[in-house]
């Protein structure tokens, strides 16, 4: 294995001076010498001197043309943590500003971002706090992770997997969120090589085979584009490349396509001088090649929050092969490469005066403000991951204002993005003037109008419709406030049964202690969440008695899964609404039939409003239910080979059994199916529906409810 060569201080200084002739050469040299002394005698697992790593990190940052402070921080970023150096010594030698940056990187290094969910969420908060003080600490940390991934083969196999997974889950999306797409692509591809080496090798082999069969496609298409630019008398620079193996693999998995059927595996960039030329080039490209519908994005008129500006279009190019083309000015390209880091980059010896660079303080403020609504760790983590992974769509209000949302967002997300009050009172939506269901997925450029009504309150089913953390948090908060008293009462009963199950008593003190242990403050909050199924009784018991509550309990007998029946009463699940454990239920008594259990929102209950004597207050047992509760799913899929097989496989992967299936409707291009699935509880139901809904050939999925299927 080739070892990293230690970059000499003169070489490093020369790299900095190439873009910043006014750099402080003496201070960089002093930092290089200091770091070398502090790390003397330390070695990396590959056997090379440890100091090669900080120097390599500094070198990566010179490629981004960053300022002296960032370069010096990179040289010193491990001194406080791994050597005898101290914050005070670095502060005295290099100044308080540098010492704070080095200390910030040290604190980021100590965050265990791949730990348990609650710990991970708290560390994300700390990460954002560190970023908010000075974003350059995360730039150094990302360069540090990039070099570690480039040299990961020297680590133990299990350590490689852990680092690669952490990089794929956290650092790569964060680089992308900051606008440094090149770094995201490389981090993902390096992680891919560790996590799925055979998958990556198969992509590489197919590329080689394709090149052998078709020749250098990139070179040919580049020549085609240059020819069109020359015809249009536009000066532009054309750059072409094959997309990274991981990017291709991800598309294959998402679309369920083989490599041979995958389109747009090549990407091209056209760089020009002015914004007007960008649109002229777009016209020339569309005049020469047919544009692919739905694959056009104009980030020049609607820039991303990290400053990214570009026109994206996909055309059917040479031999009908789909080609993605990005069109931008040279200044836009600088920001597209550096992202938020463009604020600190230098050009010709002075800080770059790029009009498209984003103010890092405003960017980090807008990012953190989106997470302030989160009331607990899980919600915060949900916000962060959705925000980092989101590919945005831009929709318009009736007045023409732009609302940015993650891909997959619905009119409900749109409503909550405008104002929580609008979301809470939403009763319907119009998209481009047409009335649509609230679960409709919004597309780029659509206009959305929200209809509201006084007295409307969020429904529990909305949680499964929205995708943004802001909307989910607002809905949960409203539902908790509205149902809090009822949930607390139900939570008491669930806690009492769960504690008795392990031979303990659910006293006020025990519940207060459990609430503090779970970070919920007081027992009433714990009981409200327990009653609303946001917590399980086993989690509450485990908080106080890990040895008693942590083990998976025996499955509950189906005949005993409902609590609240009389000694001689039996029950059946209503087939009209098919309630499952975790959902709120009520019973209706029948002479000779026992009790029929309905979901609390079942329309069939309306006919019993004048017969209160037949209503039975019920709730599900809080234990571990078997997969014996049948639910009918209404699924519309495209009429294509293999789609039904994939749907059945997805359901099986969720450990759910299909007990019946029939076709409700057949069209030339779509099938509508009613699939009966045996499930454990409402969480199991949501997992199955989510897995199926994510399949690209599924047009819609919902629970099938038929009021004719009643006793």
The Cα 116–Cα 430 span in angstroms is 41
Q: Is 24 exposed, middle or buried (0-12, 13-18, 19+ CB in 10 A)?
A: middle
The Cα 79–Cα 82 span in angstroms is 5
Asked if 313 and 286 touch (Cβ cutoff 8 Å), the reply is yes
In three-state secondary structure terms, 462 is helix
> Residues 4, 25, 82, 539: which is the catalytic one?
82
Question: Which residue reads 């318009």 in tokens?
Answer: 396
In three-state secondary structure terms, 676 is strand
Residues sharing a CB contact under 8 Å with residue 272, sequence separation 6 or more, in sequence order:
234, 235, 236, 237, 278, 281, 327, 328, 329, 330
Asked if 440 and 410 touch (Cβ cutoff 8 Å), the reply is yes
> Residues 81, 122, 601, 676: which is the catalytic one?
81
Length of the chain: 711
The Cα 4–Cα 49 span in angstroms is 9
Question: Which residue reads 């085979």 in tokens?
Answer: 209
Residue 81 among the catalytic residues? yes
Beta bridge partners of 629: 679
Beta bridge partners of 595: 571, 589
The Cα 530–Cα 535 span in angstroms is 5
Q: Is 445 exposed, middle or buried (0-12, 13-18, 19+ CB in 10 A)?
A: middle
Which of 604, 547, 597 is closest to 574 using CA atoms?
Answer: 597
Asked if 396 and 403 touch (Cβ cutoff 8 Å), the reply is yes
The Cα 104–Cα 99 span in angstroms is 8
Question: Which residue reads 């997997």 in tokens?
Answer: 161
Question: Which residue reads 């991970």 in tokens?
Answer: 120
The Cα 358–Cα 346 span in angstroms is 15
Residue by residue, DSSP assigns 177-215 as: HTT-HHHHHHHHHHHHHHH-HHHHHHHHHHHHHHHHHH-
Residues sharing a CB contact under 8 Å with residue 318, sequence separation 6 or more, in sequence order:
217, 220, 221, 224
The Cα 138–Cα 221 span in angstroms is 38
H-assigned helices in 532-616? 537-544, 546-549
**Between 25-38 and 9-19, two packed helices, what is the crossing angle to 10 degrees?**
150
**Total Cβ atoms within 10 A of residue 674:** 16
Residue 378 among the catalytic residues? no
Please identify every residue annotated as catalytic. 81-82
């Amino acid at each position: 294995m080739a070892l990293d060569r230690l970059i000499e201080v003169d070489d490093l200084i020369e790299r900095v001076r190439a873009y910043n002739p006014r750099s402080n050469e003496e201070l960089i040299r002093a930092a290089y010498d200091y770091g070398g002394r502090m790390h003397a005698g330390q070695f990396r697992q590959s056997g090379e001197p440890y100091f090669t790593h900080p120097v390599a990190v500094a070198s990566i940052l010179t490629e981004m043309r960053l300022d002296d402070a960032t370069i010096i921080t990179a040289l010193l970023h491990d001194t406080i943590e791994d050597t005898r150096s101290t914050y005070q010594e670095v502060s005295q030698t290099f100044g308080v500003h540098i010492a704070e940056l080095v200390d910030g990187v040290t604190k980021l290094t100590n965050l265990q971002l791949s730990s348990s969910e609650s710990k991970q969420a708290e560390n994300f908060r700390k990460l954002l706090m560190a970023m908010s003080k000075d974003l350059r600490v995360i730039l150094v940390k990302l360069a540090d992770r990039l070099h570690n991934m480039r040299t990961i083969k020297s680590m133990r196999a299990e350590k490689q997997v852990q680092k690669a997974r952490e990089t794929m889950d956290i650092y790569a999306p964060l680089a992308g969120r900051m606008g440094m797409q090149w770094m995201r692509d490389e981090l993902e591809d390096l992680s891919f090589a560790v996590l799925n080496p055979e998958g990556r090798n198969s992509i590489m082999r197919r590329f080689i085979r394709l090149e052998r069969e078709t020749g250098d496609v990139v070179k040919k298409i580049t020549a085609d584009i240059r020819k069109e630019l020359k015809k249009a008398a536009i000066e532009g620079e054309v750059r072409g490349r094959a997309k990274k193996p991981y990017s291709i693999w991800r598309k294959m998995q998402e679309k369920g396509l083989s490599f041979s059927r995958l389109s747009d595996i090549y990407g091209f960039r056209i760089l020009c001088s002015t914004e007007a030329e960008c649109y002229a080039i777009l016209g020339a490209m569309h005049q020469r090649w047919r544009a692919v519908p739905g694959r056009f994005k104009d980030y020049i008129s609607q820039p991303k929050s990290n400053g990214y500006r570009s026109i994206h279009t996909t055309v059917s190019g040479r031999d009908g092969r789909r080609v993605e083309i990005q069109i931008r000015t040279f200044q836009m390209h600088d920001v597209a490469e550096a992202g938020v880091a463009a604020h600190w980059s230098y050009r010709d010896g002075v800080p770059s005066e790029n009009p498209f660079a984003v103010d890092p303080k405003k960017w980090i403020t807008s990012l953190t403000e989106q997470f302030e609504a989160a009331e607990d760790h899980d919600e915060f983590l949900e916000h962060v991951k959705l925000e980092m992974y989101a590919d945005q769509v831009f929709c318009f209000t009736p007045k023409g204002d732009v609302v940015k949302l993650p891909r997959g967002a619905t009119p409900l997300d749109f409503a909550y993005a405008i104002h929580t009050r609008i979301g809470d009172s939403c009763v319907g939506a119009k998209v481009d003037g047409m009335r649509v269901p609230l679960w409709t997925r919004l597309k780029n450029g659509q206009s959305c109008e929200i209809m509201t009504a006084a007295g409307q309150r969020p429904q529990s089913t909305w949680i499964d419709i929205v995708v943004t953390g802001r909307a989910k948090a607002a809905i949960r908060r409203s539902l908790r406030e509205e149902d809090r008293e009822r949930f607390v009462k139900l939570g008491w009963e669930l806690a009492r049964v769960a504690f008795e199950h392990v031979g303990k008593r659910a006293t006020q003190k025990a519940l207060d202690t459990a609430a503090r242990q779970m970070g919920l403050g007081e027992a009433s909050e714990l009981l409200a969440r327990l009653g609303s199924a946001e917590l399980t009784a086993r989690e509450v018991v485990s908080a106080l008695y890990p040895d008693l509550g942590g083990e998976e309990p025996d499955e509950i007998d189906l005949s005993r899964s409902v609590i609240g029946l009389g000694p001689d009463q039996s029950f059946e699940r209503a087939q009209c609404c098919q309630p499952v454990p975790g959902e709120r239920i009520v019973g209706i008594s029948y002479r000779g039939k026992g009790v029929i259990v309905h979901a609390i929102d079942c329309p069939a209950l309306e006919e019993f409003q004048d017969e209160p004597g037949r209503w039975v207050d019920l709730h599900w047992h809080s234990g571990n239910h078997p997969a014996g509760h049948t639910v009918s799913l209404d699924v519309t899929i495209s009429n294509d080979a293999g789609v039904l097989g994939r749907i059945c496989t997805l359901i099986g992967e969720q450990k759910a059994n299909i007990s019946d299936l029939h076709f409700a409707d057949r069209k030339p291009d779509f099938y509508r199916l009613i699939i009966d699935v045996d499930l454990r509880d409402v969480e199991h139901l949501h997992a199955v529906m989510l897995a199926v809904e994510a399949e690209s050939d599924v047009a819609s999925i919902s629970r099938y409810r038929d009021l004719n299927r009643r006793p």
